[in-house]
Structure 1
Amino acid sequence: MVAPGGIGSKPFWDLLVSGRTATRTITHFDASPYRSTIAAECDFDATAEGLTSEEAGRLDRATQFAVVATREAVGDSGLDAAELDPYRTGVTIGSAVGCTTSLEREYAVASHGGRDWLVDPDLAVPHLYDYYVPSSMAAEVAWTVGAQGPCSVVSTGCTSGLDAVGHAVRLIEEGSADVMVAGGTDAPISPITVACFDAIRATTPRNDEPATASRPFDRSRNGFVLGEGCAVFVLEERERARARGAHVYAGVGGFASRCNAFHMTGLRPDGKEMAAAIETALGEAGVAADEVSYINAHGSGTKQNDRHETAAFKKALGAHAHRTPVSSIKSMIGHSLGAIGSVELAACALAIENGAIPPTANLHEPDPECDLDYVPLVAREAQLDVVLSVGSGFGGFQSAMVLTGPGRAER
C-alpha cells in the first residue's frame, strides 16, 4: 500500500478504522487559482522508501508508488523469487491517467512554461517516452519481481484498479500464469487534472474545510476530493498458496464488469448496469444476495453517483440491501482515480482479516434518497465472510468483485 495517511498496509488500515481523514490543502503545487484546492496526498519520499536516486529521478510518481507497493506485497506473500518460474509469473497494473505528473512537468519544460506552441525536444528528459506509454508502469513492476509472463496495463477510468485484479484472476483461471502481481496506481494531483475536474464541477469547492470536505451519502455533499495512491496484490490459486504456507487474506469469488454506453460522465439513476455487474459477480462466486455481509461502495461524494449505486444495491440485493452495512473509504482518503479500485479491495481484504468495517467519515445528515446503512463516522466490528466491492468510472464503466473469507469453500 501507498496511501494518503501512511505508507504500508498497517498505517492504511489504522487510518481507516480510526475514521480519520487524510484530505488537506494541496501542497504539490500552488492550487490557489483553481476552483477546488484540496486533495488527499501521500506523504511519500522515494529515497526513504528504498528507491535509488536513479529510480527516483527516472520514474514517474505513480510508477514509484507501484514499485514500492509491489515490494511490500511480494515480501508479505513469502514468495521466493528464486523458486518462481518467470514465464508463469505475470503483472497487471491499472491506471486511469498514467504518468500524468511527469508528462505535465516535461511539457512545461519543453514549451517554456506553455509559452511556445512548438516545443523543444532537446529540453525533454531522455526517458520521456516512458511517460507517454503507460505500459512502462507494468514493465517496471515486472522487472521488480522478475516476471516474464503476461504483462499489461488496464485503463478503464476509475474502475481500472478493480478491472486489473479481475483480469489477473482470469489469466490464472485460464492457465496463462501461476502467480500474478496485480493492482492499481495513480498520482493525478497535478494542475491539468485539477483543471479538468474543475471544468465539469466534479470536485468539491469546500476548500475551507479540507478534513471534512469528502462527504459521501451526506445531504451536504457537493463533489469528490481528488486523491492518489497504490495497492498491489499477489494472486495465485488457493491450494498453491496454502501448500507453501502463505498467509491468505481473502479469496476472489467472482468478478464482472459492464458499460452503460450512455454518457461520458453521466449515470442512469436506476443503477441497472452496476446491478447487472453485481448479480453476475455474485453468481460466479456461488453466493446468494443475502449472504453479502459488507459492501465497499464507490461512494465518490457526487450526488448522481451516490444515488445511482444506492439504487444498484437495492436492485441487486433486494430487501437484503437494507440489512447490509455499506461504507465509502473515499471519505477519508479521497478518490485516486485508477488506483482506488485496488485500494478499496485492500480495505475489503483487511476488513475480512481484522473483523471490522471501515466507516463513512463526515456522514452526519444522510441524503433521504440514500437510505441504506452507510456505517457513519465510527468503524464497526463484524465477522465478514462475503464482501462486495464496486467501482464506477467515466465512460459508463461499472465493475463488481466479490471477496470471500479464506476459510470459505472455493467456487
Structure 2
Amino acid sequence: MSRRVVVTGLGVRAPGGSGAKQFWDLLSSGRTATRSITSFDASSCRSQVAGEIDFDPVAEGLSPRQIRRMDRAAQFAVVCAREAAADSGLSFEDIRPERIGVSVGSAVAAAMSLESEYRVLSDQGREWEIDPSYLSPHMFDHMVPSIIGAEVAWTVGAEGPVTVVSDGCTSGLDSVGYACRLIQEGSADVVLTGATDTPLTPIVAACFDAIKATTPRNDDAEHASRPFDLSRNGFVLAEGAAMFVLEEYGSAVRRGAWIYAEISGYATRLNAYHMTGLKTDGREMAEAIRVALDESRMDPTAVDYVNAHGSGTKQNDRHETAAFKRSLGEHAYAVPVSSIKSMVGHSLGAIGSIEIAASLLALTHQVVPPTANLHTPDPECDLDYVPLTAREAKLRSVLTVGSGFGGFQSAMVLRRPEEAAA
C-alpha cells in the first residue's frame, strides 16, 4: 500500500523578503516586489524589469568557502534547505542517512556563474580563443546541475536517493512530485525537496527578449506583472527558491510534528505539440489535474483554491482558463483562483516550489492571496481570479499547477491533514 506523504518544514527566498513570514506578509497584503533590474546593466534589453532578491550570503550564514564554491542558485537552495530542516524540528542525525533523500528542481542551474566565468575567460567576449589558465577551479561545479542536489544533501547528511529535476518551468512542481514518490514507494523516509533558479543574467534575459515572452513595461516595473489582465504583455523574469521537508505521515504524527499539508495527488503530462506554443483547449493541463484529483480521491468540487501558473502571457492565461473549465466543470466558476507571479514574478524552475510554499501558507492562514495588478480582466479569462485584495476563506484543499516550455503541464493537490485523514 502506498505510504502517505506530508510536508513538515519549509524555507523560502523570494523577491520582497527573506523567509516564510516576510514572503507571506507580501502575498497576503497584495504588494508587489518587481522592480527595475539592478543586478546587471539592462539598458539594452527589451524587458528591463525583474523580481530580484536582496540576498546577503554572509548574513545568511554561508562560509567564505561556500560562497566561493557555490553559484547563487545553489546558495539559495542550501539556505532554504537549512530553514526547512529547522522548521521541521527533525533531528536528521538520528535518521539513518541512507533513508534521507534529496530532490531539487532547476531550469537554468548555475547560469549566473557560467556567464560570469565566460566573460572573464573571453575578456568580455572580445577573445575567440580563451585562456584556460584563468578558469575557475569550481567551473566543473557550475557546469553540472547535479551539484545543487549534492550541496543540499551535504547540508543534512543525506545518503539516500539524490537527484536534480530540470524540465523548465515545471521543475519546482515535478521535483516535489518525484520526492513524494520516493516516500510512497519506500525508497526514503524523509526527503528534502524544492527548487531554485537565479536566471537574472544578460544572456537569459536576451533569450526571453528574443521571443518577446517578457514584458516591455519598463516605465512601471512595480505593476508590470499582470496575469489575466487585458493589458498584460508578458511575464516578469525573477529569481528565488523554496525547499521543503517531506516525510511519511505516521512518523510525523508520532513525533508530534506540525504538518502543513498532505500531498495527496500529483501528475504531470506533456502536450507533444510545440516548444513554446500551447493548444487553446488546455487538454493536457486538464488531464494532469484530473489524474491528481483521482489520486487524491477527490471530486473537483472539493477544490477550495487554485494556485494558478498565471504567467501573464495571453497564450498561457487563456490556455489555463480553458484547462480549469475542462477539469473542474461548473466548479471552475465558483472556486477562487489567483497568481502570485503578479507579486514576485516568474522564477522559471523555482516558481513551482515557491507556489507550493504559497499554497501551504494559504492553508495555514486560511487566506487566498490575490492576483495583484488585475484591474481589467480579459473577457476570455472569466473565472474568479481574486483581484487586488486577499480573501479569507475556509480552505481544506489547494490545487497548484504549472506550465512549462516544451509542453510540460503539472498539477499537485495539497490537503489539510484532518481533511486527508477523513
User: Is the contact made by 1:297 and 1:391 (CA closer than 8 Å) also made in structure 2?
Assistant: yes
AA partner of residue 164 (structure 2): V
For 2:327 and 2:367, the matched residues in 1 are separated by 24
Could you say which residue in structure 2 is the equivalent of 1:240? Answer: 251
Partner of 1:293: 304
Q: Which amino acid aligns with 1:102?
A: S
- What are the residue-to-residue correspondences of 1:338-353 with 2, within 5 Å? 338-353=349-364
**Which residue of 243, 261, 269 corresponds with 2:280?**
269
Residue 210 of structure 1 and its aligned partner are, at CA, apart by: 0.3
* Contact 2:110-2:145 at 8 Å conserved across structures: yes
Q: TM-score, normalised by structure 2?
A: 0.97
Report the residue type matching 2:63 in the other structure. T
Structure-to-structure mapping, 1:2-401, within 5 angstroms? 2-401=13-412
3-state SS in 2 of match to 1:359: coil
> Cα RMSD between the aligned structures?
0.7
SS in 2 for 1:215: coil
| CA shift for structure 1 position 53 | 1.3
Judge which range, 235-244 or 326-335, deviates more.
Answer: 235-244
Match of 2:414 in 1: 403
Instruction: Name whichever of 238-247 and 310-319 sits farther off.
Output: 238-247
CA drift of 1:342 comes to 0.3
User: How far off is 1:190 after superposition?
Assistant: 0.5
Cα distance in 1, alignment partners of residues 130 and 181 from structure 2: 43
8 Å Cα contact 1:256-1:278 kept in structure 2: yes
The whole-number CA distance in structure 2 between the counterparts of 1:258 and 1:224 is: 23
Contact kept, 8 Å, 1:253 with 1:403, in 2: the verdict is yes
In the TM superposition, what whole-angstrom CA distance separates every residue of 1:137-156 from its partner, at most 9, and x where no partner exists? 00000000100000000001
- Residues 327, 359 of structure 1: 8 Å contact kept: yes
Residue type matched to 1:166 in 2? G
Give the match's secondary structure for 2:417: coil
Of the structure 1 ranges 127-136 and 115-124, higher mean CA displacement relative to structure 2 is found in: 115-124
Aligned amino acid, residue 160 of structure 1: S
Letter in 1 for 2:135: A
Secondary structure of 1:235's partner? strand
Q: For the residues of structure 2 that align with 1:409 and 1:17, how far apart are their CA atoms?
A: 25
Paired residue total: 411
Q: Which moved more, 1:238-247 or 1:388-397?
A: 238-247
Q: 1:3 is matched by which residue type in structure 2?
A: A
CA distance in 2, matches of 1:122, 1:146: 34
Q: Which amino acid aligns with 1:14?
A: D
- CA deviations 1:317-344 (Å, max 9, x no partner) are 0000000100000000000000000000
- Percent identity between matched residues is 64
Q: How far has the Cα of 1:409 moved from its partner?
A: 3.0
Change over 3 Å in CA distance of 1:405–1:114 after alignment to 2? same
Shift of 1:55: 1.0
Partner-residue secondary structure (3-state), 1:209 = helix
User: Structure 1 residue 410: deviation in Å?
Assistant: 4.3
User: Do the aligned residues in 1 keep the contact of 2:264 with 2:420 (CA within 8 Å)?
Assistant: no
Distance 1:390 1:160 in 2: 11
Cα distance in 2 between the residues matched to 1:59 and 1:227: 19
2:53 is paired with a residue of what secondary structure? coil
CA contact (8 A) 1:254 1:282 kept: yes
**8 Å contact from structure 1 (residues 253, 410) kept in 2:** no
Q: Distance in 1 between matches of 2:239 and 2:143?
A: 19
Q: Which moved further from structure 2: 116-125 or 27-36?
A: 116-125
| CA shift digits 1:76-125 (9 cap, x unpaired) | 00011220110000000000001000000001111111112222221121
In 2, distance between residues paired with 1:301 and 1:335?
9
TM-score by length of 1: 0.99
Equivalent residue letter for 2:66: E
Q: Which runs of 5+ in 1 are unaligned?
A: none
Q: Secondary structure at the match of 1:47?
A: coil
Q: Is the contact made by 1:93 and 1:164 (CA closer than 8 Å) also made in structure 2?
A: yes
Task: State the shift of 1:7 in Å.
Answer: 1.1
Residue type of the alignment partner of 1:390:
V
Q: Specify the SS of the correspondent of 1:299.
A: coil
Q: Which runs of 5+ in 2 are unaligned?
A: 1-11
